[in-house]
Amino acid sequence: MNIRNWLSALGVTLCATYSPVQHVSAQDTQQLPSLGDATSGLISLQEEKALGQSWLRNLRSQAPTLDDPVLLEWFHDLIYQLVPDSDLQISDLHLVTVDSPQLNAFAVPGGIVGINYGLLLYADNEDQIASVLAHELAHLSQRHFARQVEAARKRDPVTLATLLASLILIATSNGEAGIAGIMTSQAAAVQDQLAYTREFEREADRLGMSTLVSSGFSPEAMPAMFQNMLDAARYRGEAPEFLQTHPLTATRVADAAGRAGAFRNVSPSASFRFRILKLNAETRYQLGDGAMTELKERLQNANGAEADALNYMIAVLHHDQRQYAEAAKQLALADQSHLLVKVLDQRITASAGEPARARAALESLRKLHPNSLPLESAYADLLAESGNYSEATRVLRKLTETYPDVPAFWEALSQNASKQGDLILASRALAEYYFTTGRNQEAAQQLRNAIRQAEKANDLQRELALKERLKAVDALLRPPRG
């Protein structure tokens, strides 16, 4: 029995033990490709890519993820600053942020790199986040996962069934269940496979440090982040999810500090985006209803970039509470040179009843910043709110082309296309939304709907393209052989 069969059977257990978003059908779990037979050697890069993309869709079907444009752009910019100096054989990465306060980051074969949003709660600056990502990129470049799977196959192939399924549970912040809750009799073997070997960890530390420094980040960020993780473990009384799969010892912290000392140090960076994202994570996971009061108290003793970020975040909170005058007043205290400040200012303007003025301002900004994701997303939202569905659809189509695995953009495109009256595109976009969230049966049904609409419209070109897409989705629904 190959891994697709094992994971298909395991899907029932996954849904029964942990389904924070929605239940997944048995057929939808039959997605992961075979890793090949015992004589095939290491998993090919093509197999890794298919495996990783299937894993990502499974993750999205079971865990809440965040598609906030500011977060997406920051994550992409940060990791692609590291990629050129890594040894990755692929450059097409797929990034995902899990909506969880737990400290975790992960890398899955095929270029899947993820973090829990809560990782920002434990970092003092951008460089520390970069150190974690550089470490994960090293695991990918050295294909540690494939090498462990190959070794595991020789010992006990049954445990492969739980390996990726357990990684999903750990990524969704149910670490205890991920390690021991699925198949208790296999718990020790699963934990052994999920935790990278000491050799792999040392290799990832060494290569990660090289990538970090070559990319212009502070070498001191890695030992500092390691220490933050150890402190978090002591505070919690248990290891965070990241440390369950990446065992961390005082020796590794010391080794990282020693390596850092061999490089010229640079000052770590805490950009405006990092500051507001960290504040947003604190508001989301820690401060709750007292966020406004807490942030205003901090503002009394803040200055410079910290004060700018606090003013921005307080303005966001006022806006979310529909206190538009207070939001505008607070935002005016922040440095107006930041593009995100300008975008938020126009969101407030539109919400306060002046959408035409806000649209004109955003159009001017788009000429200066044509590739800004937060700006394009805000512009699409404003167009949709103003009833200009045709233009909103055009902008969203471009976003789905640039970020094809972001569910929120497909969902928004479907909604706008439907209001515009393009039912073919509406069904196609909804199909892609379902597909990116691991709901293959629903995706196939929407593609069939789109095909029927194309047939009615005598649109042969779109009909043929939709049929080809349906074949690809249907292939994932067929029961695996063997």
The C-alpha angle 212, 213, 217, rounded to 5 degrees, equals: 70
349 pLDDT higher than 60: yes
Digit-coded pLDDT (tens) for 192-218: 554 556 677 888 889 999 999 999 999
Sign of the alpha-carbon torsion through 435, 439, 441, 447: negative
159 pLDDT higher than 80: no
Q: How far is CA 66 from the centre of its chain?
A: 7
Average pLDDT over residues 428-444: 96
Complete DSSP assignment for 386-453? TT-HHHHHHHHHHHHHHSTT-HHHHHHHHHHHHHHT-HHHHHHHHHHHHHHTT-HHHHHHHHHHHHHH
Digit-coded pLDDT (tens) for 391-413: 999 999 999 999 999 999 999 99
The pLDDT value recorded for residue 10 is 28
The pLDDT value recorded for residue 201 is 81
| Known catalytic membership, residue 136 | yes
DSSP assignment, residue 43? P
Q: Which residues pair with 65 in a beta bridge?
A: 98
437 pLDDT higher than 60: yes
Smallest Cα–Cα separation from 182: which of 192, 170, 193?
170
Average pLDDT over residues 115-140: 95
CA–CA separation, 429 and 78 (whole Å): 29
Digit-coded pLDDT (tens) for 20-45: 333 333 333 334 333 333 333 456 67
Average pLDDT over residues 115-128: 96
Looking at 136-140, 292-296, 322-326, which range is the least confident one?
A: 136-140
Going by the annotation, the residues of the binding site are 135, 139, 201
The pLDDT value recorded for residue 328 is 98
CA–CA separation, 428 and 422 (whole Å): 10
Average pLDDT over residues 50-62: 86
Average pLDDT over residues 445-449: 97
Q: How far is CA 218 from the centre of its chain?
A: 24
Average pLDDT over residues 97-112: 89
The pLDDT value recorded for residue 183 is 43
Place of tokens 């020790």: 188
Dihedral class, residue 291 (left if φ above 0, else alpha if ψ from -120 to 50, else beta): alpha
478 pLDDT higher than 90: no
186 pLDDT higher than 70: no
Sign of the alpha-carbon torsion through 202, 130, 83, 245: positive
Q: pTM of the entire structure?
A: 0.83
Digit-coded pLDDT (tens) for 228-254: 988 888 876 666 666 666 677 788 888
Among 205, 220, 241, 345, the one annotated catalytic: 205
The pLDDT value recorded for residue 156 is 55
CA dist 253 → 223, 231, 239, 281 (Å)? 5, 12, 15, 26
Going by the annotation, the residues of the binding site for Zn(2+) are 135, 139, 201
Among 28, 99, 136, 220, the one annotated catalytic: 136
Q: What percent of the chain has pLDDT over 70?
A: 76
How many other CB atoms sit within 10 Å of the CB of residue 16? 10
